[in-house]
Structures are given as C-alpha cells and as structure tokens.
Amino acid sequence: MTRGEIYTAAAPGAYTGKPRPVVILQDDRFDATASITVCPFTTNPVQAPLLRLPIEPSQENGLDQTSQLMVDKVTTVPRASLGERLGRLRDD
C-alpha cells in the first residue's frame, strides 16, 4: 500500500462505517504500522470547493462514478479494514 492508491475501506466511524473508496495519505515510510491515514470519497456532492475535490472516474483510479474527495474527513483506520485495491490517483 502506497500513498495515492485507492482502496475500499469499512472501519468503525461516521465516515468509514460503510464500504467506500479511500485514498491513502500516509507516507510510505510508515508501512509497518497497524493503522493507516486515509481520505474518503463520497458520491453525494456538496458545494464546498475548498473541502470537496471532484474526481472523475477513470480506468487508472478505478472509481465507477464521479466522486468528491472529502479532505475535511481525513481519518486513520486499521490496515485490516482496507479491502480491494481500486487504482490510484494521478500525481498531477
């Protein structure tokens, strides 16, 4: 698991309780920890351009519909709660 990769996650918490895509934010050098810092996606759009970044689905990122990255909901979850790897965000 490396920074920028997108996985499904379901962990206890208000924004990660149901399976949803998350992008890994944690630095790759901390790969031995039991937890990982992620930012969740949502498909329920909100007009908050500084807090919700629109991401269009692509073959590279593996998303199946237009989503918003909820930068105001960064959280740390157990690595064991991460499921399938969907893809990764582009570096740009």
Average pLDDT for residues 17-23, to the nearest whole number? 88
User: Residue 14 — very low, low, confident or very high, per pLDDT cuts 50/70/90?
Assistant: low
Is 49 a residue whose pLDDT tops 90?
no
User: Residue 79 — very low, low, confident or very high, per pLDDT cuts 50/70/90?
Assistant: very high
> Could you tell me if residue 92 is inside a domain?
no
Per the DSSP assignment, residues forming a β-bridge with 12 are none
User: Residue 16 — very low, low, confident or very high, per pLDDT cuts 50/70/90?
Assistant: low
| Euclidean distance between CA atoms 45 and 34, whole angstroms | 31
> Could you tell me if residue 50 is inside a domain?
yes
> Average per-residue pLDDT in the chain?
91
Is 23 a residue whose pLDDT tops 90?
yes
Indicate the number of domains in the chain. 1
Q: Phi and psi dihedrals of 52, rounded to 5?
A: -130, 105
Do residues 59 and 90 touch, judged by C-beta distance below 8 A? no
Which domain, by its residues, includes 25?
5-87
- What CATH number is associated with residue 58? 2.30.30.110
Please, what is the Cα angle at 20 between 65 and 85, to 5 degrees? 85
Question: By CB neighbour count within 10 A (0-12 exposed, 13-18 middle, 19+ buried), where does 9 fall?
Answer: buried
> Could you tell me if residue 77 is inside a domain?
yes
